[in-house]
Amino acid sequence: SSAAAAGSAQVQQEPSAETPEGTGVTINCSHPDIQLNDFIHWYRQLPGRGLTFIALALKGAKEVRDPPGRLSVAAERRSSALWLARPRLGDAALYYCAREP
């Protein structure tokens, strides 16, 4: 499991996920010690490129435009999930979540 930390702001992600092209896939992130006003940020890094911001959420769910999908933060805010609706070969990338105040 990969982990990213900024001070005490730790999150954990599954090491990998795969799906056939065009079939939706969910990428999960755990942030059990999240603080009241921390936002969950999601980024992706395409091969040979820098990080690109995808979306952020405090709680609840919101649509994501690029790549098309939805970002959901659980009611207790201890986890979030990025659902990619119709992933294409070009969406193969590293996906990162981060919690930030």
Count CB atoms within 10 A of the CB of residue 27. Answer: 20
Per-residue confidence (pLDDT) for residue 9, from 0 to 100: 52
CB 98 within 8 A of CB 11: yes
Q: How many CA atoms lie within 13 A of 87 on its CB side?
A: 19
Measured from the Cβ of residue 94, the count of other Cβ atoms closer than 10 Å reads 14
Q: Tell me the pLDDT tens digit for each residue of 24-71.
A: 999 999 999 898 889 999 999 999 999 999 999 999 999 999 999 999
**Would you kindly state where each structural domain of the chain is located, as residue ranges?**
21-100
| pTM across the whole model | 0.83
CATH of domain 21-100: 2.60.40.10
> Does 4 score more than 70 pLDDT?
no
